[in-house]
Amino acid sequence: MARFDGQPILISGAGRGLGEGIARHLASEGAIVGVADINQDSAHQVVEAIRAAGGQAHPYGGDLGDRSQFFSVAEAFRYDAAAPLRAVVNNASVLVYEPIEQVTEETLDRMLSAGLKSVFWGVQAFLAYRDEDQPGNILNYSSPVAYRGRPGTGAYTTIKAGIAGLTKVLAGELGPRGIRVNAIAPGSVPTPATEGFVTAEQYEQRAKNIPLRRNGTPEDVAQAAAFLLSDEAAFINGAMLAIDGGIIAAG
């Protein structure tokens, strides 16, 4: 039996990049995956690929920074999966790198909505539609920038540091209810979301400074996420798992 056989797991921002990688991997291990993304076409494409590979998945479009839309997605997934949720992966975010004096109110609002507000709504929606007879899982997506002062990442770092702190709070708050809350901090993983901010040459240079001397892959992240969501991690709660080849550790 696969580790997540028949378990409904909802993933935000799963229409591409790391979210897509996690969705594909969990589906390959038997999960019923809810692929939610602001780009509904992307969500449908990911679901089609999962189904073509023999997995189970359902697509949903919506602005997950909007509480009512996140709840609507979770309710629809609960109905489509024909079972209450076992986990939620709060992966959605908007990535913008720019000097602090260039950050606009519009950009900050958009990043806070997608990257931080959606985490609150994802947790609330999970609590509303979870299987209360089974252990629950919440997996948040932080970043090595939450631990390192990288110039030009003021808004993004603030959001990811907030998620790191919120993860610890929720681990203590929800643990007594049988819900584990952890976070992953992927570092230097080329995806479509980073193409406009990090060039191939910059990624090549980054790899030279990473202790393992390579950049990460979506599968590296997906395997680590699957571990934290699995029963193998049953006593891990409130952890931040760095998936970065040693970036945080090496400073």
Residue partners of 231: CB distance under 8 A and separation at least 6: 3
Please name every residue paired with 137 in a beta bridge, in sequence order, or none if there are none.
87, 180
156 is catalytic: yes
Please, how many CA atoms are within 13 Å of residue 34, restricted to the half-sphere of its CB? 34
Reading the block at residue 94, the tokens are 């908007």
The CB density around residue 146, as the number of other CB atoms within 10 Å, is 21
Q: Which of 60, 141, 147, 156 is catalytic?
A: 156
* Integer Cα distance of 239 and 205 in angstroms: 29
Residues annotated as catalytic (active site), given as ranges: 156
